[in-house]
Amino acid sequence: MHDLTLYAMLKQGWPIISLLLVCSIVSFSIILDRFLALRNARLDARQFVEAVLRDLAMGGLERAMQRCQHFRKPVSAVVAEVLNRPGSRDDKERAMQHAIQEQLHLLEHRVAFLGTVGSTAPFIGLLGTVIGIIKAFKDIAANAGGGPDVVSAGIAEALVTTAFGLVVAIPAVMAYNYFVNALRRFSGEMEMAVYDVIETQCREERL
């Protein structure tokens, strides 16, 4: 006779569930860490660049660099890289793109793991289900006269790992998509704002 309590079903699939539990803990740790990192990195790029342009007009390059060093945010690092890069407009644009990619690389640290968990956790759960169904059929063969109770109990135990895999995967996929879109918007905001610095510097050099 099968015990259909939650504890019994979890005990039945504990190897797979333990692996999924580890993935879940790591995923939520990454979600919290990246959320805080993105929140700390936020700075109104347009407003910051306008302040830098005022510094350039009133106090020159040194004053603008002091503002960048004071804030220590991704956008300030990109602006500082552009201000420090001599050469043509193309040189400054390449410096901007390189600096933005460097900042994004820091912010997207371990985000890819969330995508990996989101795509593999359901399959890990499915593996547990397949193993559980195999065991269930063995129980059916061993209890030929057991009736539908044996079948339903074995299948219920087997499906727990699939359900657990989905519970782990859904938050990971949602968080992954959120961070990817947030980083894309963040990159676009920085690029549009820093272009104003490049334009201003190139215009001043032509005068």
pLDDT band at 186 (very low <50, low <70, confident <90, very high): very high
pLDDT in tens, 54-86: 888 887 888 888 888 888 899 999 999 998 888
Greater model confidence, 182 or 133: 182
Greater model confidence, 28 or 152: 28
% of the chain beyond a pLDDT of 90: 39
Nearest to 115 by CA among 180, 32, 25: 180
pLDDT at 42 over 90: no
- Whole-structure pTM over 0.95, yes or no? no
pLDDT at 11 over 90: no
The DSSP code for 105 is H
pLDDT band at 38 (very low <50, low <70, confident <90, very high): very high
**Mean pLDDT estimate for the chain:** 85
pLDDT in tens, 105-140: 999 999 999 999 999 999 999 998 888 788 777 777
Query: Are 193 and 49 a contacting pair, CB within 8 Å?
Result: yes
Nearest to 41 by CA among 140, 176, 159, 187: 187
| pLDDT in the model for residue 98 | 93
| pLDDT in the model for residue 1 | 44
| pLDDT in the model for residue 168 | 95
DSSP 151-179: HHHHHHHHHHHHHHHHHHHHHHHHHHHHH
